[in-house]
């Protein structure tokens, strides 16, 4: 158990941003915190990074207590923040060099280590350009590289692909996967992108209003909670019979196009199709994490862009 | 050891960024030149103090002003760093808050002193005649201003979470500190109420020390100027350190 939280809670005046969360994360795992903006993901991450002091409860990171041993915790983690946190006026190399100095990377290995991480994120040929001239994706990669510079055992990533184009996002995902699989780095990632959680994470905790409402592998979550949909073209559908089936939650029919929402489709598809009537076309839609979220909370994860500074300010200060 | 390396990193960053922002250096030198030329030259055509031209008379005050403005705004700039998540990267480093404060503060002091030095050199063109003694004392007092005021800026900035209060700081901190320091007028013959306020301003003693060393015009003995300045610096560094310890990261 490289990360373990025990009833960790953060309250800002009247708002409980993180509400008694218990989490256990194994070494080498890619663990996702999935939830809408304002669900408490960043607050939880900030407490694990010792940037915020929990109101109640605590967390052990790499065997160190976030409240009592913040120095050790900080040396064990690398963090990539949601908003840009590299210095535009400095070059990529200089940003990394400063980080190496601040995080106590020994002088003998500084240059070598910087070279290593720059290679990892494919920024070696741009290392001596000012960060001002980088694209959004390059900046993120630089920040990822910086988070890795002091060889942390744990990497905390706050919305690492927020606002990036699909191709760059794919790249970043590859880097993250490589780190976890080859480097045995434990990765805790917050996201409100379903595809990201689905594609990348070994396990996902769905978080809403500061509480974990579900926790499992993406596949299990979808299987257990998510609903599948069968779409079929049937001339004379036997709708009454279908509606009567206990596992069917919704049936709609229009001009011979029938859509049926049901749970555990694998076990029931045969029965549904037998009862439905002669179908000229059948399509099966598997559940997504969005369905899971919808099912659990009754609302969709808002997939709009980054939360504005004002919103962040409001949430952080509780004003 | 690692704290010292961290300190160096913080300082290095500030100085490097400062030296790359040429426009900031230029504007911060042009501003005092306007004071000297327009205000000093304009008003100086009408008044002088016992053989000393007005332009020369206010030169130490304008030097102090340059360092004052650079220092306070450097400190307040931390609000911006905090907004951009930039400072979080520093806060998550395994360094003590005292190190963060001292590193930032020394960085700001270096910036302000570089500007002060540029102006010191430009003073030659305004007919200022330096002695080695005067230069040493001037730099010493400028250092006091830089440390003290950067600390105030950082202390205020670390407790603020937006730029909303900037106008208030300008009106209630920066302007009074400058205009009530005797930077622009002699202290002899001030009305009592004004004298009380001026004497309560630590920068008064700094300007007095500088003017004394450069022009031989002074109101307080040098020892008094130095002691008051040192006390001011010590208190401000203490306040800044405390403010950093209480600063929240988000």
Please write the tens of the pLDDT for every residue from A141-187: 899 899 889 889 999 999 888 878 888 888 889 888 988 888 889 99
Give the ipTM. 0.86
- In chain B, what residues touch A79 (CB-CB under 8 Å)? 88-89, 92
Return d(Cα A14, Cα A119) in angstroms, integer: 47
pLDDT at A284: 85
- Mean pLDDT across A197-217: 92
For chain A, give the percent of residues with pLDDT over 90: 40
pLDDT in tens, A266-302: 788 888 888 888 888 888 888 788 778 877 777 666 5
Instruction: Provide the shortest C-alpha distance from residue A249 to chain B (in Å).
Output: 44
- A-B contacts (CB, under 8 Å): 80
pLDDT value at residue A24: 94
Q: How confident is the model at residue A305 (pLDDT cuts 50, 70, 90)?
A: very low
**Which of A125-134, A156-165, B145-154 shows the lowest per-residue confidence on average (mean pLDDT)?**
A156-165
- Mean predicted lDDT score pLDDT of chain B: 91
CB contact (8 A) between residue B9 and residue A102? yes
Residue B114 sits at the vertex; the CA angle it makes with B133 and B27, to the nearest 5 degrees, is 125
Residues of B with CB under 8 A from a CB of A: 2, 5-6, 8-10, 12-13, 16-17, 20-21, 83-86, 88-95, 161-162, 248-250
Q: Higher model confidence: residue B52 or residue A7?
A: A7
The pairing of strands A64-65 and A228-234 is unpaired
Nearest-CA neighbor of A98 among B101, B15, B9, B1?
B9
Q: Which residue of B has its CA nearest to A85?
A: B86
pLDDT, average across residues B238-250: 88
What angle do the packed helices B132-159 and B54-76 form, to 10 degrees?
30
Residue A218 · residue A197 · CB < 8 Å:
yes
Contacts of A166 (CB under 8 A, 6+ apart): none
Closest-CA distance of chain A to residue B152, Å: 23
User: What SS3 class is residue A287?
Assistant: coil
pLDDT at B57: 92
Q: At what angle do helices B97-122 and B222-246 cross, to 10 degrees?
A: 140
Strands B48-49 and B52-53: antiparallel
Distance CA B109, CA B129 (A): 25
Nearest CA-CA partner of A51 in B215, B79, B88: B88
The Cα–Cα gap between B11 and A94 comes to: 13
Pick the more confident residue, A125 or A289.
A125
**Residues A30-59 as b or e (16 or more Cβ within 10 Å = b):** bbbbbbbbbbbbbbbbbbbbbbbebeebbb
Nearest-by-CA chain A residue for B7: A102
Judged against a pLDDT cut of 50, whether residue B137 lies above it is answered with yes
A312 confidence band (pLDDT: 50, 70, 90): very low
pLDDT at A111 over 80: yes
Say yes or no to pLDDT of B86 above 80: no
Q: What pTM value is reported for the model?
A: 0.83
pLDDT of residue A306: 44
Buried b (16+ CB within 10 A) or exposed e, B212-235: bbbbebbbbeeeebbebbeebbee
Strands A257-262 and A248-254: antiparallel
Lowest average pLDDT, out of A95-104, A161-170, B65-74, B214-223, goes to: A161-170
What is the reported pLDDT for A226? 67
Question: For position A224, what pLDDT does the model report?
Answer: 75
**Chain B residues with CB-CB distance to A54 below 8 A:** none
Q: Is the pLDDT of residue A109 over 80?
A: yes
pLDDT of residue A242: 85
Inter-chain CB proximity A87 and B13 less than 8 Å: yes
Q: Which run of H or of E encompasses A7? A: strand A3-12
d(CA B19, nearest CA chain A) in Å: 10
| pLDDT surpassing 80 at residue A303 | no
Is A51 in contact with B249 (Cβ distance < 8 A)? yes
Encode pLDDT of A39-76 as tens digits: 899 999 999 999 999 999 999 999 999 999 998 999 89
Question: A167 burial class (0-12, 13-18, 19+ CB within 10 angstroms)?
Answer: exposed
């Amino acid at each position: 158990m490289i990360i373990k939280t025990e009833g960790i809670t953060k309250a800002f005046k009247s708002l409980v941003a993180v509400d008694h969360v218990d989490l256990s994360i194994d070494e080498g795992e890619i663990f996702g915190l999935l939830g809408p903006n304002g669900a408490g993901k960043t607050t939880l991450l900030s407490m694990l990074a010792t940037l915020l002091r929990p109101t109640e409860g605590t967390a052990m990171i790499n065997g160190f207590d976030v409240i009592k041993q913040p120095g050790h915790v900080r040396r064990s983690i690398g963090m990539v923040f949601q908003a840009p946190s590299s210095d535009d006026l400095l070059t990529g190399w200089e940003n990394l060099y400063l980080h190496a100095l601040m995080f106590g990377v020994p002088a003998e290995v500084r240059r070598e280590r910087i070279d290593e991480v720059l290679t990892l994120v494919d920024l070696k040929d741009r290392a001596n350009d000012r960060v001002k001239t980088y694209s959004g994706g390059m900046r993120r990669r630089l920040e990822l590289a910086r988070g890795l510079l002091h060889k942390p055992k744990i990497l905390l990533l706050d919305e690492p692909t927020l606002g990036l184009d699909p191709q760059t996002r794919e790249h970043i995902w590859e880097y993250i996967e490589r780190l976890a699989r080859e480097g045995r780095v434990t990765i805790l990632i917050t996201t409100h992108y379903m595809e990201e959680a689905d594609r990348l994470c070994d396990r996902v905790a769905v978080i809403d209003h500061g509480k974990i409402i579900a926790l499992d592998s993406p596949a299990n979550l979808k299987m257990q909670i998510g609903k599948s949909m069968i779409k079929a073209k049937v001339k004379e559908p036997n709708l009454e019979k279908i509606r009567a089936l206990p596992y069917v939650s919704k049936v709609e029919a229009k001009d011979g196009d029938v859509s049926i929402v049901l749970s555990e489709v694998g076990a029931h598809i045969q029965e549904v199709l037998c009862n439905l009537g002669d179908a000229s076309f059948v399509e099966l839609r598997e559940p997504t994490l969005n369905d899971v979220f919808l099912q659990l909370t009754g609302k969709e994860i808002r997939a709009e862009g980054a939360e504005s500074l004002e919103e962040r300010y409001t949430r952080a200060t509780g004003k | 050891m690692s704290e010292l390396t961290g300190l160096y990193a913080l300082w290095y960053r500030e100085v490097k960024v400062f030296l790359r922002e040429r426009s900031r250096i230029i504007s911060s030198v042009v501003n005092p030149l306007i004071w000297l030329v327009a205000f000093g030259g304009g008003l100086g055509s009408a008044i002088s103090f016992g053989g000393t031209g007005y332009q020369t008379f206010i030169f130490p005050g304008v030097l102090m002003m340059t360092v004052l403005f650079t220092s306070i705004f450097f400190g307040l700039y931390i609000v911006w760093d905090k907004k951009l998540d930039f400072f979080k990267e520093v806060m998550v480093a395994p360094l003590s808050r005292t190190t963060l404060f001292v590193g930032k503060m020394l960085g700001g002091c270096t910036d302000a002193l570089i500007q002060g030095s540029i102006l010191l050199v430009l003073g030659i063109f305004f007919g200022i005649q330096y002695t080695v003694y005067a230069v040493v004392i001037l730099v010493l007092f400028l250092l006091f201003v830089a440390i003290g005021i950067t600390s105030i800026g950082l202390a205020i900035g670390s407790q603020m979470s937006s730029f909303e209060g900037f106008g208030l700081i300008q009106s209630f901190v920066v302007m009074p500190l400058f205009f009530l320091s005797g930077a622009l007028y002699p202290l002899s013959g001030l009305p009592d109420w004004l004298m009380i306020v001026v004497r309560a301003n630590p920068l008064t003693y700094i300007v007095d020390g500088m003017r004394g060393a450069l022009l031989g015009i002074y109101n307080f003995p040098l020892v008094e100027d130095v002691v008051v300045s040192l006390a001011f610096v010590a208190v401000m560094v203490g306040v800044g350190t405390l403010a950093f310890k209480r600063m929240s990261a988000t």
